[in-house]
């Protein structure tokens, strides 16, 4: 039970690192608590609401009561399966805006500007411009991660993009290319009608090599000898044992479990560790701090025409979708149904988009519960760069205990202004000529919810997490007391230990986090191997010429 590198977590970043490190000839052991991703609930894109609500695949975490959200406890699904959260997510693929990564560099993450990360996005992507459009000079064509677009044959999907154009917004053919701002086709990690998770893209090919191995077990703590990380203590088959790392221990256990593991290993806020009787190895107050997420609400409309996915909502309809997918790999089950997207700025004076739309031709919740007994559709909408910050803390020194998660959602006044703008901008879209043939009435929030106070109350009662937690092991300069890792993922104050998942994000990125998480695994692999990073690409992304004075 020894390898050059021991990676904790077979999620988005961990799988990418296992692939690249083993490709370079290093021996790798990946430690994962979850089991197999076999079966239709994970592999069929149309069944996405199932795996994130199944104890078999999800850690089952919940937040503490959120004081600004009517003390609601919020679900925090995290993948407990090979592929991690890339095996239970909505499969939406967003790189993030160039401005996000330039902000990272300004915040002390040296070498992580957009010019630095773009080559890694290209390296990881398998994108077919002939089949999907877009500018191939901004995309990668032969990487492990297949990115595709759905058939977009539902008329509502096109209506959403046309509504954006009618409302005066930009249209973009490729939000992952030069121009994020605007409305256009959405992209997904789906390949030939199957979920293309990090397990399918990276881990399975890596495990075919003799120098890469997967071990199931619960990571308990990092083992140190003479101040250096030398392995991971795990519970496996009812026994506690140590898996040894000849070179480095690499944590890729998620923005919830990576800070938990650091604290259990004596790295974190000294007072927090002492409170649980844990010996302080490195006093790093940033461990478990800086927790960020995306919140969203669902603006739902009843449809005056029977063109929505509700036609498949019966038991018979679902059986048809499943059987067709199993037999042919096609049909409604072969897409996540998120096929149109929008990125806009909430107000003039904001340089790049801070609101995201996912359009869905069905009125339904993420947990699969229909909001309407009949035809409807919805836009998921929410701000991208909330100023609220939360924490992950230990419940006890027992590795089997769930962590204490406090997002502190909506604790900053700007969040409320951004959400009000998001709701009003969405209603404006559904009031365009493009939707006139389809809109019957507003289901949620309801036409009587108009004032700031009424919208605020709706957000408090109905906003849900988009399941994008990050930031709890922030990357920064080594002399920054709040930073946890440096620009190469090395834990400050510990030798032989790195963190390489979404917990290192200094600030949350625009859009869904699976893409940036995989990119982090790709780029960190070169740092781990001591390679010179890929050459920077100094390209200029599109920015609205009137952003200082116009909202659209």
pLDDT tens profile 422-431: 999 999 999 9
Report the distance separating Cα 268 and Cα 288, nearest Å: 8
pLDDT at residue 391 greater than cutoff 90: yes
What average pLDDT does this structure show over 230-237? 97
User: DSSP letter at 253?
Assistant: S
Asked if 509 contacts 175 with a C-beta cutoff of 8 angstroms, the reply is no
Residue bearing the bigger pLDDT, 127 or 366: 127
Indicate the angle between helix axes 413-430 and 452-462, nearest 10 degrees.
Answer: 100
Q: Do the beta carbons of residue 501 and residue 258 sit within 8 Å? A: yes
User: What mean pLDDT do residues 496-518 have?
Assistant: 98
DSSP 112: -
The pLDDT of residue 128:
83
**CA count, 13 A, side-chain hemisphere, 103:** 14
pLDDT at 368 over 70: no
Task: Please name which of 194, 216, 5, 239 lies closest in space to residue 87, comparing C-alpha atoms.
Answer: 194
Is residue 84 within 8 Å of residue 518, measured between CB atoms? no
Q: Confirm or deny that 92 is annotated as ligand binding.
A: yes
pTM score, whole prediction: 0.97
pLDDT of 529 reads 98
Asked if residue 345 has pLDDT above 70, the reply is yes
pLDDT tens sequence across 140-158: 999 999 999 998 999 999 9
Q: Which range is least confidently modeled, 14-28, 38-52, 160-174, 401-415?
A: 38-52
Length of the chain: 552
Residue recorded with tokens 């089991």: 35
Residue ranges covered by each domain of the chain = 1-143+189-285+470-536, 150-185+295-383+411-462
pLDDT at residue 108 is higher than 90:
yes
Architecture of domain 1-143+189-285+470-536: 3-Layer(bba) Sandwich (3.50)
Q: What is the pLDDT of residues 448-475, one digit of tens each?
A: 999 999 999 999 999 999 999 999 999 9
Q: What would the mean pLDDT of 337-365 be, rounded to a whole number?
A: 96
Q: How confident is the model at residue 320 (pLDDT cuts 50, 70, 90)?
A: very high
Look over the chain and give the mean of its residue pLDDT values, rounded to a whole number.
96
What's the pLDDT band for 366 if we cut at 50, 70, 90? low
Is 524 annotated to bind a ligand? Reply is: no
Q: 514-528 vs 12-23: helix axis angle to the nearest 10? A: 30
Q: Does residue 17 register a pLDDT over 70?
A: yes
pLDDT at 495: 98
Does the bond joining 334 to the residue before it have cis omega, within 30 degrees of 0?
Answer: no
Whether residue 70 is predicted with pLDDT greater than 90 in this model: the reply is yes
- Exposure letters 278-292 (e unless 16+ CB within 10 A, then b): beebbbbebbbbbbb
- Mean pLDDT, residues 405-410 taken together: 98
Please pick, among 146, 468, 527, 544, the residue that the annotation labels catalytic.
468
Q: Of 211, 275, 222, 199, which Cα lies nearest the Cα of 514?
A: 199
Q: Tell me what the mean pLDDT of segment 403-428 comes to.
A: 98
Distances (CA, A) of 227 to 215, 223, 493, 496: 26, 10, 9, 9
398 Rama class: left (phi>0) / alpha (psi -120 to 50) / beta: beta
Residue 352 DSSP SS3: coil
Look at residue 39 in the predicted model and tell me its pLDDT: 86
81 labelled as ligand-binding? yes
Q: Burial-class residue 409 by CB neighbours within 10 Å (0-12, 13-18, 19+).
A: buried
What fold characterizes domain 150-185+295-383+411-462?
Cholesterol Oxidase; domain 2 (3.30.410)
Q: What is the pLDDT of residue 126?
A: 95
Q: Is 44 annotated as a binding residue?
A: no
| 468 has catalytic annotation | yes
Is residue 512 marked as binding? no
Distance CA(479)–CA(332), nearest Å, equals 52
According to the model, what pLDDT value does residue 451 have?
98
Q: What is the pLDDT of residue 133?
A: 72
Q: Which residues pair with 214 in a beta bridge?
A: 30
């Amino acid at each position: 039970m020894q390898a050059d590198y021991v990676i904790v977590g077979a999620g988005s970043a961990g799988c990418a690192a296992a692939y690249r490190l083993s490709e370079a000839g290093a021996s790798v052991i990946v430690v994962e608590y979850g089991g197999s991703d076999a079966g239709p609930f994970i592999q069929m894109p149309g069944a996405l609401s199932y795996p994130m609500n199944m104890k078999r695949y999800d850690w089952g975490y919940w937040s503490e009561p959120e004081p600004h959200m009517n003390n609601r406890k919020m679900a925090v699904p995290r993948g407990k399966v090979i592929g991690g959260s890339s095996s239970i997510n909505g499969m939406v693929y967003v790189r993030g805006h160039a401005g996000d990564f330039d902000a990272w560099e300004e915040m002390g993450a040296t070498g992580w500007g957009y010019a630095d990360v773009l080559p890694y996005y290209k390296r990881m992507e398998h994108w077919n411009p002939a089949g999907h459009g877009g500018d191939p000079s901004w995309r990668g064509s032969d990487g492990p991660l297949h990115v595709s677009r759905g058939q977009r044959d539902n008329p509502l999907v096109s209506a959403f993009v046309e509504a954006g154009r009618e409302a005066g917004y930009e249209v973009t053919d490729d939000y992952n290319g030069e121009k994020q701002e605007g409305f256009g086709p959405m992209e997904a990690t789906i390949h030939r009608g199957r979920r293309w998770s990090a397990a399918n893209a990276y881990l399975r090919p890596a495990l075919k090599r003799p120098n890469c191995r997967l071990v199931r077990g619960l990571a308990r703590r990092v083992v140190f000898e003479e101040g250096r990380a030398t392995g991971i203590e795990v519970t496996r088959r009812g026994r506690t044992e140590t898996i040894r790392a000849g070179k480095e221990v690499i944590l890729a256990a998620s923005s919830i479990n990576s800070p938990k593991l650091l604290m259990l290993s004596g790295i974190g806020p000294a007072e927090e560790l002492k409170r649980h009787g844990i010996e302080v190895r490195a006093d790093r107050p940033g461990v478990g701090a800086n927790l960020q997420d995306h919140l969203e609400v669902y603006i739902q409309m009843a449809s005056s025409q029977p063109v929505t996915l509700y036609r498949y909502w019966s038991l018979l309809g679902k059986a048809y979708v499943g059987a067709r997918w199993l037999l042919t790999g096609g049909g409604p089950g072969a897409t996540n149904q998120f096929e149109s997207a929008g990125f806009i700025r909430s107000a003039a004076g904001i340089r790049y988009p801070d609101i995201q739309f996912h359009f869905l031709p069905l009125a339904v919740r993420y947990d699969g519960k229909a909001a309407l007994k009949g035809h409807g559709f919805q836009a998921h909408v929410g701000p991208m760069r909330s100023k609220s910050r939360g924490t992950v803390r230990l419940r006890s020194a027992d590795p089997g205990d769930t962590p204490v998660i406090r997002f502190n959602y909506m604790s900053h006044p700007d969040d409320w202004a951004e959400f009000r703008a998001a709701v009003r901008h969405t209603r404006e879209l559904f009031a365009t000529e493009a939707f006139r043939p389809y809109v019957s009435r507003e289901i949620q929030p309801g036409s009587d919810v108009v004032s700031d106070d009424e919208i605020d109350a709706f957000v408090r009662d109905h906003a849900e997490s988009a399941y994008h937690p990050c930031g709890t092991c922030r990357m920064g300069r080594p002399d920054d007391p709040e930073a946890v890792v440096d620009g190469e993922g090395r834990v400050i104050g510990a030798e032989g230990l790195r963190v390489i998942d979404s917990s290192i994000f200094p600030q949350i990125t625009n859009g869904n986090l699976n893409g940036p998480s995989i990119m982090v695994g790709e780029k960190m692999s070169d740092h781990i191997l001591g390679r010179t990073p890929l050459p920077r690409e100094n390209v200029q992304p599109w920015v609205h010429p009137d952003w200082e004075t116009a909202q659209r």
